[in-house]
Chains A and B, each alone.
Chain A
Amino acid sequence: MNQENTNQGFEFDPKENKSQAESAKGTTGGTEQQSTGYQGQTNKPEIDPGKNKMQQPLPNSGGILAMGILSIALFCCCYGGVSLVLGIIALVMSSKANRVYLEDPDMYTEGSYKNMKAGRVTAIIGLVLAGIMVIVGIVAIASGLNILSTQEALHEFEQVWESTGY
Chain B
Amino acid sequence: MLKWLEEHMGTCAFKAHTGMDCPGCGMQRSLFELLKGNIWESIQYYPGLLPMMFTLFFLGLHLIFKFKHGADILKFSFIFTVTVILINYIIKIATHYQFSFS
Contacts and interface: CB of A to CB of B under 8 A. Distances in A.
B52 A73 contact: yes
B90 interface: no
Contacts of B25: 76
Nearest to A132: B23
Given A66-B59, A72-B82, A147-B101, A133 B22 contact: yes
Q: Interface of chain A, helix or strand or loop or mixed? A: helix
B14 to A, nearest CB: 6
B81 to A, nearest CB: 7
Contacts, number: 84
Interface in A67-108: 68-70, 72-73, 75-80
Interface in B27-45: 27
B96 interface: no
A140 B72 contact: no
Contacts of B23: 75-76, 129, 133
Given A73-B56, A111-B66, A140-B20, A125 B13 contact: no
Chain B interface residue bracket vs A: 20 to 34
Chain A interface residue bracket vs B: 20 to 34
Interface stretch (A21-29, A48-56, A114-122, A152-160): A114-122
A141 B81 contact: no
A66 B58 CA distance: 11
B8 interface: no
Interface in B45-102: 52, 55-56, 59, 62-63, 66, 68, 70-72, 74-75, 78-79, 81-82, 85-86, 101
A131 interface: no
A143 interface: yes
Contacts of B78: 68-69, 72, 118, 121-122, 125
Contacts of B86: 129
Nearest to B15: A76
B14 A115 contact: no
A119 B71 CA distance: 8
Contacts of B71: 65, 111, 114-115, 117-118
The 7 tightest CB contacts between A and B, nearest first, are A76-B24, A114-B71, A140-B18, A118-B71, A118-B75, A147-B101, A75-B24
15 contacts: A62-B63, A65-B62, A65-B74, A73-B52, A75-B23, A76-B12, A76-B23, A76-B25, A115-B70, A115-B71, A121-B78, A125-B79, A129-B86, A133-B22, A140-B17
